[in-house]
């Protein structure tokens, strides 16, 4: 084993540990905000943060975004598990290079959001939502939703304008390309 190969594996291991640490932190933050929402907001009137702009308003969401697909718990869990599988696959396959660190962070944020909402669905049969933008009458959402939305938007921008077509060759199942990357 070459010294460079050994360095790359150690660096990759550290990056994956960072991903796991970040994932745990983000899931805990989401969990704690939802727990506080249940304690402080459930069965209470909306809590005004910025009059006419932002309020905390407790909602038990049994559907997806905008209340679609009500009471489809197992479907949501299945979709979340598929997305998590794809994310883990990409994180493990991504080369240990500086240009992929942002990819790791964004995918970890998406995974944290999926896990946070999946935990609610499995434990409660609904997702706790509590952030309401009154100004635009936006559907009530939570911190996990913010992770997914923000990270997905940035990821799309990155894929369209930053990464080049061959930057994702590491996802190929072509054994020749895989050997070239090593």
Out of 19, 30, 120, 145, pick the active-site residue. Answer: 145
Phi, then psi, of 140 in degrees rounded to 5: -65, 140
Per-residue pLDDT of the chain (182 residues; tens, 9 = 90+): 454 445 456 788 999 999 999 999 999 999 999 999 999 999 999 999 999 999 999 999 987 665 566 667 778 888 889 999 999 999 999 988 999 999 999 999 999 999 999 999 999 999 999 999 999 999 999 999 999 999 999 999 999 998 887 888 888 776 555 555 44
**pTM value?**
0.85
Lookup: tokens for 70: 């009500």
Out of 43, 51, 129, 167, pick the active-site residue. Answer: 129
Tell me if residue 129 is catalytic: yes
- Collect all residues with Cβ–Cβ distance below 8 Å to 69 and sequence separation of at least 6: 63, 75, 76
Q: Is the separation of the CB atoms in 133 and 53 below 8 Å?
A: yes
Beta bridge partners of 128: 60
């Amino acid at each position: 084993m070459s010294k460079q190969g050994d360095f790359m594996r150690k660096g990759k291991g550290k990056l994956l540990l960072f991903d796991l640490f970040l994932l745990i932190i983000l899931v805990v933050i989401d969990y704690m905000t939802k727990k506080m929402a249940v304690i402080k907001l459930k069965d209470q009137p909306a809590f005004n943060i910025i009059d006419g702009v932002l309020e905390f308003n407790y909602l038990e969401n049994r559907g997806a975004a905008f209340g679609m697909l009500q009471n489809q718990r197992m479907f949501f869990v299945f979709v979340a598990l598929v997305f998590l599988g794809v994310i883990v696959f990409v994180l493990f396959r991504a080369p240990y290079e500086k240009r992929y660190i942002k990819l790791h962070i964004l995918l970890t944020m998406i995974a944290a959001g999926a896990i946070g909402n999946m935990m609610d669905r499995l434990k409660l049969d609904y997702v706790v939502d509590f952030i309401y933008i009154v100004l635009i009458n936006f559907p009530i959402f939570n911190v996990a939703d913010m992770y997914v939305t923000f990270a997905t938007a940035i990821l799309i921008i990155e894929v369209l304008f930053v990464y080049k077509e061959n930057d994702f060759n590491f996802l190929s199942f072509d054994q020749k390309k895989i050997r070239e990357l090593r």
